[in-house]
């Protein structure tokens, strides 16, 4: 079995961050979201991944991921020439799949439980398995209607949903899906919809099964999604102290402190993760803070934030909260209330 990961999206909802970084590489608990997906695929025995990228995203993603050798797998890059829908992205990988069964995984989705149950269900005798999750507002998602143990209908963002089961960013397919993609027409969005292709499988009497998740799932397409996912993954941490914490500092809860990091005269309220060679001084961090490598936080209070590498947060008079800060940024100032920011790389912000 092979896998394809869809990473061609431009991440417009995460600008200004995504002007300089692919959305799939924004970190959660100091690890790019895309890496969690790669690890999920490896865990079900996949060692060949086709990464579907755009002309814009390929150099950034390939620079971060490489050829897969760091994980002991093979990764190849397949360009999608325009954003023409998930089914079109899948179609771009037909020659890579070469008749094999495969997993299709959306690179900006976070599925902590992994793909094991969905793959097992497929191997029990299905032509496709679609991962589903009950949601509060099904009108915002592709929705599946079930009849017993089979999916009988898929609808994209229905105004009158027949169920509350949203389609998650994980699928398992036989190569028959490519024939179905070839039989569908573009939607009103002028895109080839994967829901239409799967519906065609159903209409041609192929066996399409659901796997209904009961655990956490997040599409990390918006800033608040990144921050919510960061909370969930930080809650899974176990304590680890590789850096230096002086006698004037206090740790309350779970903290992971990277190699070469220094914590001086500060309070850490877990869960928090501090990257290698970061410096925390006269500060309060947490709960739910991810500070990347070489981050500096001095004379400031930070909670519920993702701060990417080489950023400096200095001398804030009020707490920095629910913020997503890019690389090599500088945040300072004497704000009158809590500070909430979405800041891109290399921003210099006085609040």
Report the distance separating Cα 78 and Cα 148, nearest Å: 37
The reply to whether 227 falls in a domain is no
Which phi and psi angles does 344 have, rounded to 5°? Answer: -80, 180
Domain identity same for 152 and 247: no
Residue span of the structural domain in which 324 resides: 237-350
Same domain, yes or no: 244 and 216:
no
Residue 294 belongs to some domain of the structure: yes
Are 81 and 187 contained in the same domain? yes
pLDDT recorded at residue 10: 67
Q: Is 297 found in the same domain as 166? A: no
At 141 the pLDDT is 83
On whether both 54 and 203 belong to a single domain, the answer is: yes
Query: Are both 288 and 206 inside the same structural domain?
Result: no
What does residue 309 show for φ and ψ, rounded to 5 degrees? Answer: -60, 150
| Residue at 315 is within a domain | yes
**Burial profile 229-246: b = 16 or more Cβ within 10 angstroms, e = fewer:** bbebbbeebeeeeebebe
- Which pTM value belongs to this model? 0.90
What does the pLDDT read at residue 222?
82
The alpha-helical segments, DSSP class H, found in the chain are 33-43, 58-65, 86-91, 94-97, 116-123, 176-183, 194-203, 223-234
Residues 31 and 149 placed together within one structural domain of the fold: yes
Looking at the 3D structure of the chain, how many domains does it have? 2
Which residues of the chain are modeled with pLDDT < 70? 10-11, 13
Is 340 within the bounds of a domain? yes
Kindly state the DSSP code that residue 262 receives in the 8-state scheme.
E
CATH number where 308 lies: 2.160.10.10
């Amino acid at each position: 079995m092979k896998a394809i990961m869809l990473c061609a999206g431009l991440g417009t909802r995460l600008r200004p961050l995504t002007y300089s970084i692919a959305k799939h590489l924004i970190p959660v608990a100091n690890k790019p979201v895309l890496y969690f997906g790669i690890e999920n695929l490896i865990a079900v025995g996949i060692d060949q991944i086709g990464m579907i990228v755009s002309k814009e995203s390929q150099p950034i993603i390939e620079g971060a991921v490489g050829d897969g050798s760091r994980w002991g797998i093979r990764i190849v890059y397949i360009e999608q020439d325009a954003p023409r829908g998930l089914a079109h992205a899948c179609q771009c990988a037909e020659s890579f799949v070469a008749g094999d069964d495969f997993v299709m995984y959306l690179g900006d989705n976070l599925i902590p439980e992994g793909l094991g149950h969905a793959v097992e269900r497929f191997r029990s005798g299905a032509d496709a398995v679609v991962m589903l999750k009950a949601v509060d507002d099904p009108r915002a998602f592709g929705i599946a209607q079930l009849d017993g143990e089979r999916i009988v209908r898929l609808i994209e963002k229905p105004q009158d949903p027949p169920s509350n089961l949203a389609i998650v960013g994980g699928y398992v397919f036989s190569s028959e899906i490519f024939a179905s993609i070839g039989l569908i027409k573009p939607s009103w969005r002028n895109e080839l919809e994967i829901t239409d292709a799967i519906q065609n499988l159903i209409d041609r009497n192929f066996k399409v099964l659901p796997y209904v998740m009961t655990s956490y799932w997040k599409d990390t397409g918006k800033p608040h999604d990144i921050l919510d996912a960061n909370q969930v993954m930080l809650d899974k941490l176990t304590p680890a102290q590789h850096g230096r914490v002086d006698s004037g500092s206090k740790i309350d809860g779970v903290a992971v402190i990277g190699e070469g990091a220094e914590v001086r005269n500060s309070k850490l309220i877990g869960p928090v993760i501090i990257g290698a060679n970061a410096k925390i001084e006269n500060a309060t961090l947490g709960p739910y803070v991810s500070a990347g490598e070489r981050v500096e936080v001095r004379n400031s209070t930070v909670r519920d934030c993702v701060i990417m590498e080489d950023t400096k947060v200095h001398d804030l008079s009020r707490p920095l909260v629910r913020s997503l800060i890019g690389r090599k940024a500088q945040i300072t100032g004497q704000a009158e209330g809590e500070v909430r920011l979405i800041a891109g790389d290399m921003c210099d912000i006085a609040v």
